[in-house]
């Protein structure tokens, strides 16, 4: 049974809806800038969504005084766009599921709660901590969209949303659900900014994925969701199919990737096998490409191992959006679907010099009119958690 993509929605530093993103890519407009969302000593660039929580609440028709995490607000905005894009509002006779994901739940609000609480455990506004768990934002998205059926939340760090989309496709193929809204959301917060800072992998300048001089990643925030639908159901339009997917574990180190990119290789190879395709049928790879020395070397090695000397066009979009962590797989799945649908390739910003060991050169210009039938989207997370999705016309 085929799984169709019938709706898409995303928000990131380069746009608050799908169309905004296409324009930013076309104009090579990065979303990187200084931190404005919270006071911090960190001066590294980040990619913030250019909407305050109040504006987000207004857009969503929610009361301004409601205590809702930014993680949930971003997720609601993108999930609603996907939901409306697939024209699901009138659908009542089908089993609709919601599979969301994030890396740190409502941490943006927990950061308000905790400083007071740790001085005095009877203090700290309880509303600010009630959304700490990753499931909270999922429940809120379900409520906003009027979904009463199956919902769950995945949290596997930076591959979270990719795993959510994969689970959605599997539940449809097994006949358990007819339609699934799947993806992820993450808001920038002090906790993760300092976490990645402590790992010494934040670049002080805009990140340079796959470049020889790359020195780390920039954090971002956002949300991205797909509507997946069984081909047996009726739908207004379809972008493409989700033809393959695989998750594999690098089982090498808690945070670092193996030098031969074994987990990444297994994930991409598994997605191809699931789709019944050979490597030469891939027309574009939206790479994980964080800009850290370790990830990009490891991912490059895996790409070379799988594709040999016929490397398909590939690029990382993270110099536009920053690394949106738990949302990255959702945001980039939307980009992958758009690449297929419109025949476009995204530029990998800030690339000058290939990595000596691999010599791989990503796409550096925005290209249109490209014949694209199959796209791979990679997301790799802490704990060696590697997932690839394969979209096909």
Partner 1 sequence: MSKQTIYINSIASTLPDTQDSPEFVPGKQVSIQEPDYKTLIPDATLRRRMSRIVRMGVATGMQCLNKFPNAPVDAILTATGYGCLGDTEKFMNTLLDNHEQMLTPTAFIQSTFNTIGAQIALLSKNHGYNNTYTHRAFSFESALLDAILLLREEEASNVLVGAIDEMTPTVYEILKRLGLWRNALAGEGANFAILSTTAIPESYAVLEGIELFNGTYSAAEIQERIHNYLVQKEEKNVTVLFPSDYKKICGEYPTAMAYAFNTCCKHLQSGEIKTPILVYNTFLGNHSFIFLKPV
- Inter-residue contact 21 to 338 (CB < 8 Å): yes
Segment lying near partner 1 (by CB under 8 A), choices 112-120, 292-300, 339-347, 367-375: 112-120
355: contact with partner 1 by CB under 8 A: no
Confirm whether 288 is a catalytic residue. Answer: yes
Per-residue DSSP letters for 40-56?
Answer: -S--S-EE--S--HHHH
Per-residue DSSP letters for 216-235?
Answer: -B-BB-EEEEEEEEETTS--
User: Tokens 């969701």 correspond to what residue?
Assistant: 225
Segment lying near partner 1 (by CB under 8 A), choices 60-68, 76-84, 147-155, 298-306: 147-155
- Residue 379 gets the label, from left (phi > 0), alpha (psi -120 to 50) or beta, of beta
Kindly state the DSSP code that residue 69 receives in the 8-state scheme.
Answer: -
194: contact with partner 1 by CB under 8 A: yes
Cβ contacts of residue 117 below 8 Å, gap of 6+? 123, 124, 129
Residue selected from 34, 115, 146, 359 as contacting partner 1 according to rule CB under 8 A: 115
CA distance 18 to 118: 41
Of residues 142 and 376, the one with the C-beta less far from partner 1: 142
Of residues 150 and 366, the one with the C-beta less far from partner 1: 150
CA distance 201 to 358: 21
Instruction: Determine the distance from the C-alpha atom of residue 293 to the mean position of all C-alpha atoms in its chain, rounded to a whole number.
Output: 20
Of residues 20 and 111, the one with the C-beta less far from partner 1: 111
Site for partner 1 in 312-341 (CB under 8 A): none
CB of 246 to partner 1, least distance (A): 8
- Inter-residue contact 328 to 38 (CB < 8 Å): no
CB of 89 to partner 1, least distance (A): 19
Q: Encoding tokens for residue 102?
A: 């994030």
- Inter-residue contact 79 to 181 (CB < 8 Å): yes
Q: Encoding tokens for residue 174?
A: 């097994």
CA distance 207 to 90: 43
253: contact with partner 1 by CB under 8 A: yes
CB of 209 to partner 1, least distance (A): 22
Tell me the number of residues near partner 1 by CB under 8 A. 62
Residue selected from 6, 24, 69, 153 as contacting partner 1 according to rule CB under 8 A: 153
114: contact with partner 1 by CB under 8 A: yes
Kindly state the DSSP code that residue 368 receives in the 8-state scheme.
Answer: -
Cβ contacts of residue 17 below 8 Å, gap of 6+? 9, 10, 11, 81
- Inter-residue contact 8 to 227 (CB < 8 Å): yes
134: contact with partner 1 by CB under 8 A: yes
Segment lying near partner 1 (by CB under 8 A), choices 20-28, 211-219, 249-257, 314-322: 249-257
DSSP lists the bridge partners of residue 179 as: 96, 229
Residue 73 sits at φ, ψ, to 5 deg, of -65, -45
Residue selected from 92, 148, 234, 309 as contacting partner 1 according to rule CB under 8 A: 148
- Measured CA to CA in angstroms, residue 110 lies from 12, 126, 197, 221 at distances of 22, 9, 19, 17
Confirm whether 189 is a catalytic residue. Answer: no
14: contact with partner 1 by CB under 8 A: no
- Tell me, residue by residue from 78 to 107, as one string, x for binding to partner 1 by CB under 8 A and - for no binding: -------------------------x-x--
Choosing from 158, 189, 207, 240, the catalytic residue is: 158
197: contact with partner 1 by CB under 8 A: yes
Of residues 30 and 100, the one with the C-beta less far from partner 1: 100
Of residues 182 and 372, the one with the C-beta less far from partner 1: 182
Site for partner 1 in 274-293 (CB under 8 A): none
Residue selected from 384, 389, 391, 392 as contacting partner 1 according to rule CB under 8 A: 384
Of residues 333 and 349, the one with the C-beta less far from partner 1: 333
The set of catalytic residues is 158, 288, 323
- Where do contacts with partner 1 occur on this chain (CB under 8 A)? 40-42, 103, 105, 111, 114-115, 117-118, 121-122, 126, 129-130, 133-135, 138-139, 142, 148-157, 163, 167, 170-171, 173-174, 176, 190-191, 194-195, 197-199, 247-255, 262-263, 266, 381-385
């Amino acid at each position: 049974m085929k799984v169709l993509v019938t709706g898409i929605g995303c928000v990131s530093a380069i746009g608050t809806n799908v169309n905004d993103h296409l324009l930013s890519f076309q104009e090579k407009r990065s979303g990187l800038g200084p931190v404005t969302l919270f006071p911090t000593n960190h001066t590294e660039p980040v990619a913030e969504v250019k909407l305050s929580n109040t504006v987000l609440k207004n857009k969503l028709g929610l009361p301004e005084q409601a205590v809702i995490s930014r993680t949930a607000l971003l997720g609601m905005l993108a999930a609603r766009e996907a939901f409306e894009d697939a024209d699901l509002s009138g659908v009542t006779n089908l089993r609709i599921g919601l599979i969301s994901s994030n890396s740190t739940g409502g941490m943006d609000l927990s950061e308000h709660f905790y400083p007071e609480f740790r001085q005095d455990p009877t203090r700290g506004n309880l509303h600010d901590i009630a959304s700490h768990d990753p499931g909270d934002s999922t429940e809120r998205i379900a409520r906003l969209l009027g979904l009463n059926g199956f919902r769950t939340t995945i949290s596997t760090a930076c591959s979270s949303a990719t795993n959510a989309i994969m689970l959605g496709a599997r539940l449809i193929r097994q006949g358990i659900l007819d339609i699934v809204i799947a993806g992820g959301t993450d808001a920038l917060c002090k906790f993760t900014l300092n976490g990645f800072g402590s790992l010494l992998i934040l670049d002080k300048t805009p990140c340079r994925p796959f470049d020889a001089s790359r020195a780390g990643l920039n954090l971002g925030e956002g949300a991205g969701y797909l509507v997946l639908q069984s081909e047996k159901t009726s739908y207004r339009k379809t972008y493409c199919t989700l033809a393959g997917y695989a998750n594999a574990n690098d089982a090498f180190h808690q945070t670092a990737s193996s030098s031969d990119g074994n987990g990444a290789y297994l994930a991409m190879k598994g997605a191809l096998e699931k789709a019944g395709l050979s490597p030469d049928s891939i027309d574009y790879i939206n790479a994980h490409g964080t800009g850290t020395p370790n990830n990009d070397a490891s991912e490059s090695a895996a790409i070379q191992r799988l594709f040999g000397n016929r490397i398909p066009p590939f690029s990382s979009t993270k110099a536009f959006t920053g690394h949106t962590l738990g949302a990255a797989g959702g945001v980039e799945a939307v980009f992958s679907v758009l690449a297929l649908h419109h025949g476009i390739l995204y530029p990998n910003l800030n690339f000058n010099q290939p990595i000596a060991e691999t010599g791989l050169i990503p796409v550096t210009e925005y290209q249109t009119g490209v014949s694209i039938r199959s796209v791979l989207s990679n997301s790799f997370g802490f704990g060696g958690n590697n997932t690839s999705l394969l979209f096909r016309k």
